[in-house]
Amino acid sequence: MFLAIKEMKHEKLRYGLIVALILLVSYLLIILTGLSTGLANLNKAAINEWGAKTIILDKDSQGRLAQSYLSAQTLQTTKGSKISQYNSLVTSTGDLKENAQIIALSKQSFIYRNLKATTGKKFTSKNTALVADKFKKDGFKIGSKIKIANSNVELRIVGFTPRATLSVAPVIYTSFETIKPLNNGVVNAVVTSEKHQFQDAPSNGLVLSINQFINKLPGYSAQKLTFNFMIGFLYIIIFIVISIFLYILTTQKLPNFGVLKAQGVPTTYLVMNTLAQSFIMSVIGVFLAIVFGLLTSWFLPSEVPIVISTMNIVLTSVGIIIMSLLGSLIPIRQIAQVDPYKIIGG
Partner 1 sequence: MSNLRFSSVTKIFGHDTSKYVALDQVNFEAENGQLVVVIGPSGSGKTTFLTIAGGLQSPTSGNVTISGNNMTSLAKKEQTKLRLNKIGFVLQSYNLVPFLTVKEQFELVTKVKKNNLSDQSLYQLLDDLDIRSLVNKYPNELSGGQKQRVAIARALFTDPEYILADEPTAALDTERSMAVMSLLKDLAHKHDKMIIVVTHDMRLKELADKVYQIIDGKMSVYEG
**Interface with partner 1 by CB under 8 A: which residues?**
2-3, 6-7, 9-11, 255-256, 258-267, 269, 339-341, 343-346
Question: Rg of the chain's alpha carbons, rounded to an integer?
Answer: 28
Q: How far is the CB of 252 from partner 1 (least distance, A)?
A: 10
Strand residues in 142-296 grouped as ranges (E)? 145-148, 154-161, 165-166, 169-175, 189-192, 205-209
CB closer to partner 1 out of 301 and 346: 346
CB closer to partner 1 out of 88 and 277: 277
* Cα-based distances in Å from 28 to 25, 35, 193, 298: 5, 10, 38, 16
Contact 190, 78 (CB under 8 A): yes
Q: How far is the CB of 267 from partner 1 (least distance, A)?
A: 8
Give the number of other Cβ atoms within 10 Å of residue 231's Cβ: 17
Integer Cα distance of 93 and 247 in angstroms: 66
CB closer to partner 1 out of 96 and 249: 249
Q: How far is the CB of 10 from partner 1 (least distance, A)?
A: 4
Q: How far is the CB of 261 from partner 1 (least distance, A)?
A: 7
Integer Cα distance of 39 and 37 in angstroms: 6
Q: How far is the CB of 321 from partner 1 (least distance, A)?
A: 24
DSSP structure class, residue 17: H
CB closer to partner 1 out of 202 and 258: 258
CB closer to partner 1 out of 209 and 256: 256
Which residues, at least 6 apart from 252, have a Cβ–Cβ distance to it below 8 Å? none
